[in-house]
Amino acid sequence: MRVLIRETLETAVINIYGTDGKQHSKDFFEKYFSNTEGAYPTLDEEREEYGTDAEWTIIRKQDFDRFAEIVPTLQKAIDDVQDRITKGSRREEYTFNSDCFLI
């Protein structure tokens, strides 16, 4: 998923995959950044003005960099859960609220 870094007007890519192998970056952003002041769905006006196709905007470069640093750890945790489920663990051991993973 494309993300606009508002401070520098860069467009970056963040991909977070679920245990189903499909990309869930947008779902992740909606769940965890909807009620924050530092990130929001990119406005149509921003897309036009800055020539971006970003779906989300993170205001500060420092915040984007910090988030980008944890994405590999987050993805590894999701992959590890899927591996355990594949090896016989019950999915319910790692989920709550209809499939939200406990990481």
Biggest CA-to-CA distance, the chain: 50
| Beta-bridge partners for 78 | none
The encoded tokens of residue 27 equal 């779902």
Where is 44: in which H helix or E strand? Answer: helix 44-50
Residue scoring higher pLDDT (80 or 94): 80
Per-residue pLDDT tens digits for 1-32: 999 999 999 999 999 888 778 888 898 888 88
Contacts of 28 (CB under 8 A, 6+ apart): 16
What local confidence, expressed as pLDDT, does residue 97 receive? Answer: 62
What's the pLDDT band for 102 if we cut at 50, 70, 90?
low
